[in-house]
Chains A and B, each alone.
Chain A
Amino acid sequence: MININDKCIKDKILSVAPDAAFDEAAIFTVTVPAEQYHRLAHCLRYDADMRFDYLLCMTGMDWGDALGVVNLLESTTHDQSLFLKTAVTDRENPEIPSVADIWETAILNEREVFDYFGIRFTGHPDMRRIFLRNDWVGYPLRKDYNADEALNPVRLANEELIDTTTVYEAVAGGKTEAHTRTVFEEGEYVVNIGPQHPATHGVLHFRVSLEGETVKKVDVNCGYIHRGIEKMCESLTYPQALGYTDRLDYLGAHQNRHALCMCIEEALGLEIPDRVKVIRTIMDELQRLSSHLLFWSCLCMDLGALTAFFYGFRDREKVLNMMEETTGGRLIQSYNVIGGVMNDIHPDLIKRIKEFIKYLPPMLKEYRDVFTGNVIAQQRMKDIGVLAKEMAVAFGVTGPSGRASGWACDVRKRKPYAAYDKVQFKEAVRTEGDSFARYLVRIEEIEQSLYILEQLADNIPAGDYAVKTKPVIKLPEGRFFKSVEASRGEFGVYIESRGDKNPYRIKFRSPCLPLVDVVDTLARGGKIADLIAIGGTLDYVVPDIDR
C-alpha cells in the first residue's frame, strides 16, 4: 500500500497539474483549476501508483463565489481515497471539462450536477436534465435559486420527450461549441416502459429502442420521485436531517441513517459506546434480511412465480415484527440518533432473533426448492445481463450486484465500522456477473446475515444506549464523508460544513443510481423480456436514485 501523502505522488500530480493545491485533512484533497482538471483526472485514473479507478461520489457545489465539483475517488488496488476538487467562477456560463470518458459513472453524475447547478460539462456526450423537467426554470441547488412557485408551478401538461441532446465541445481559444446529437433516430421503434409500470419497481421511465424483440438501446429517464431532499437538508439542523435518510432507500432505512449518524459523530469526535455499535449492527443486519427477502419475493413475482411472493413476505413480516418491537416502526424506524440509538432494545429481541435464526434456514431451503432450482427461473437468469468486473468498478456498481461480478466491494470488510470488525462472516463474491449470480449472492448474504446475528445475539455489551450530545449540534468546518454497506451497495454521506448548525451542502451517495446506469449496457442486444430479469436482479429502489 502506498501513502498518498508521499512526496513522489505529489510531484506526479504537480507535473500534470502545476497549479494543484493540496489540503491534507482527514481525506487528502487536491484542488485544480478547471483547465487542468481533465488532465489530472486522467493521470489519477491510469497512473500505476495511483489507479483511482472508482469514482465513489461526485458532488456538485455552489460556494457562493464559485461553482464546481468535488469528486471522491477510491483506488481498488491501492486502497486509497482522495478528493479531487475543481471550480469555476463564471455563474452565467459555468463550464468544466467532463470526465465521463475516464469514469463511466460520471455520465449520469455529471448530468445530475448540470441539473442541479447548471454547470455544463464540455465533452460530455449527453447534456440533458436528468431529474427535473426540461422546462424547469433555474437550478435548484444553487444558493441563489429562486424558489418562487409561480416560476415552476405544478404543470399538468405532459412533458415533451425530446430525442436530441446537446453536446458541448471545447474548441481552440477557450470557446465552446454546442452540437446537437440524436438519442433516438427518426425511424427507431421506441417503447416506453414506465413511469407507471409494475416491473420497474417504482416510478422509473425507460425508453427502449427495439429491433423486433431485441433491445438496441435503453435511455433512462429519472426524476419521477425526485423529492429534493439534499436541498431541504441545507435548511435543517443535523438531527432534523436524519429523518430524511430513512425515506431515501426505505428498504435500507436503518443503514442509511446509520451512515449519516456516523458521519456526524466522526466530525464531532464523539466516542460511541460499544453497546450502541452492536445494537446498530444487529439492526443493520435485520434490515438487510428484510430487504433481501423483499428482493426475493419481488424478483419471483416479476418472473411470474406469484406464490413465491407470499413465501417471502411471510418471512419478512417476522423480521419486521422484531424491528417493530424495538423501534416502533415497521418500515421507517427512525431508530438511530446522533450519539446512539433512540431507546434500548426490547427485552425480547434476543430471544426472537434466536428463534428466527432457527426458523429461516429451512425456509431458505424451500426457496431453493421452489425457485432457485426451477428450470424456467434459471433459464431466465443465467447468462442474462452479464456485467464484467471492470465495468462494475467503472460504473460504481457496488453491493450484491458488484460482488456478483467479482468485485469484493463490501464496505463492511473494506472499511469496517460499528461492530463489523468483531464478527466473522464471508463476503459473498461470485465471478459470473450474470443475473443468476446477482440472485445467488443475495441468497448467500441472507445466510451470512443470520451468521452475524448469531454471533452478536449473546454478546451485546452492557452500557448506555446513547451518549449525551449538546442540545445544538454544530459541525466543525470541513468536508466529511462516511459510507456504509446498505442493502443495495455503498451508501455514503458527504457533508460540507461551515461550522453552522445546518450543513452547507449534504450529498447522499446513492447506491442505486449506478444500478440504473448500467441497465443500458446490460440490456443491449438482449431480449426485451430480459430487461425485467435484469432490473429485478439489480434491485434498485427508485426514491434512492432520485433523492
Chain B
Amino acid sequence: MDVKIKSMKYDDFKDNEALEQLRAAGTNIIMGSLDKLIDWGRSNSLWPLTFATSCCGIEYMAVGAARYDFSRFGFEVTRASPRQADFIMVAGTIVHKMAPVLKRLYDQMAEPKYVIAMGACAISGGPFKDSYHVVKGVDTIIPVDVYMPGCPPRPEALLYALMQLQRKVKVEKFFGGVNRKEKRTK
C-alpha cells in the first residue's frame, strides 16, 4: 500500500538562527564564561510543572515514559508545585474557568520562568476556537516562549520544542548585560 504523505522537504526546514546571534555581539570574557556555565547548567535541568488539562497531556506523559524519555535532556523532574518549577507546559485546552487558575500558577512561579504552548488549543484555541468557553490562545493570558503546533503534537515535536527552550535559555545573560527583558503580560 503506498500512502502519500505530504510533508515538508528537509532542505526547506530552516531553523531559526536569530537566537544565537544575540550572543554574537560578544561579552566580557570572565562574565561571559560564567554566564555560559550557568546557562549550561540551567538549560539541562529545566523542571516542568505537572500541568495537563486534556489530550495533549497524555502525549506529554508518553514523552515522560521510557520510549521517548525526556529525562535525557533533564526535563524529568516534574514538580507538582509551581514554586519549584522552571516552566509550564500548557498541554491542553484552556477554558474560561481555568484561565484565572493558570494565571495564578504562572504568577506563583519564581523567575526566570518560561511557558511552552503545546498543541493547537494552547496556541489559538485550536479546534475549539468557536466555542463560547475556550480561551483563544494562552498568550492572551501569559507570555509564551515556545509554540508547538499539532493536535496533539507528536512526541518528537515535543522534544524539539523543549530543545528550542534550551536554546533560549542558553543565550541568556546573567552577568554580562541584559538581553532578556523582564516579561510583561500582554
Residues 115-140 of chain A, each 1 if its beta carbon lies under 8 Å from chain B, else 0: 00000000000000001110000001
Do B65 and A202 touch across chains, with their CB atoms under 8 A apart?
no
Given the known interface contacts A232-B131, A247-B127, the answer about A224 and B98 at a Cβ–Cβ threshold of 8 Å is yes
In the complex, A251 has a CB within 8 A of chain B: yes
Residues 307-335 of chain A, each 1 if its beta carbon lies under 8 Å from chain B, else 0: 00110011011001000000000111000
Contact partners of A251 in chain B: CB under 8 A: 58
Partner of A133, one of B97, B131, B154: B97
- Which of A89-97, A193-201, A422-430 lies at the interface? A193-201
Residues 97-114 of chain A, each 1 if its beta carbon lies under 8 Å from chain B, else 0: 000000000000000000
Contact partners of B101 in chain A: CB under 8 A: 158, 195-196, 203, 224
In the complex, B62 has a CB within 8 A of chain A: yes
Residues 343-364 of chain A, each 1 if its beta carbon lies under 8 Å from chain B, else 0: 1101100000000000000000
Using A231-B132, A346-B1 as known contacts, list a sample of 13 further A-B pairs with CB atoms less than 8 Å apart, ordered by residue number in A.
A132-B96, A154-B135, A154-B140, A154-B141, A202-B52, A225-B95, A226-B133, A251-B58, A294-B58, A317-B62, A320-B62, A343-B3, A542-B53
Question: A interface, by DSSP: helix, strand, loop or mixed?
Answer: loop
Do B97 and A226 touch across chains, with their CB atoms under 8 A apart?
yes
Residues 124-159 of chain B, each 1 if its beta carbon lies under 8 Å from chain A, else 0: 000110111111000011000000000110100000
Q: How far is the CA of A228 from the CA of B134 in the complex (A)?
A: 8
Name A152-202 residues within 8 Å CB distance of B: 152, 154-159, 195-198, 202
Do A313 and B57 touch across chains, with their CB atoms under 8 A apart?
no
Contact partners of A314 in chain B: CB under 8 A: 65-67
Nearest residue (CB) in B for A345 is B1
Question: Smallest distance from the beta carbon of A508 to chain B beta carbons, Å?
Answer: 15
| B54, B97, B141, B152 — most chain A CB neighbours (10 Å) | B97
How many A-B contacts at CB < 8 Å in the complex? 131
Q: How far is the CA of A202 from the CA of B56 in the complex (A)?
A: 11
In the complex, B77 has a CB within 8 A of chain A: no
In the complex, A243 has a CB within 8 A of chain B: yes
Given the known interface contacts A198-B80, A332-B152, the answer about A225 and B66 at a Cβ–Cβ threshold of 8 Å is no
Do A247 and B131 touch across chains, with their CB atoms under 8 A apart?
no
Q: How far is the CA of A152 from the CA of B131 in the complex (A)?
A: 12
Do A310 and B131 touch across chains, with their CB atoms under 8 A apart?
no
Do A313 and B66 touch across chains, with their CB atoms under 8 A apart?
yes
| B3, B61, B135 — most chain A CB neighbours (10 Å) | B61
| A226, A229, A244 — most chain B CB neighbours (10 Å) | A226
In the complex, A147 has a CB within 8 A of chain B: yes
Partner of B100, one of A140, A145, A155: A155
Nearest residue (CB) in A for B99 is A154
Do B96 and A155 touch across chains, with their CB atoms under 8 A apart?
yes
Question: Smallest distance from the beta carbon of B148 to chain A beta carbons, Å?
Answer: 15
Contact partners of A224 in chain B: CB under 8 A: 53, 95, 97-98, 101
Question: Smallest distance from the beta carbon of A529 to chain B beta carbons, Å?
Answer: 16
Do A196 and B51 touch across chains, with their CB atoms under 8 A apart?
yes
Nearest residue (CB) in B for A298 is B61
The 5 A-B pairs of least Cβ separation, nearest first, read: A313-B65, A228-B131, A250-B55, A543-B54, A228-B133
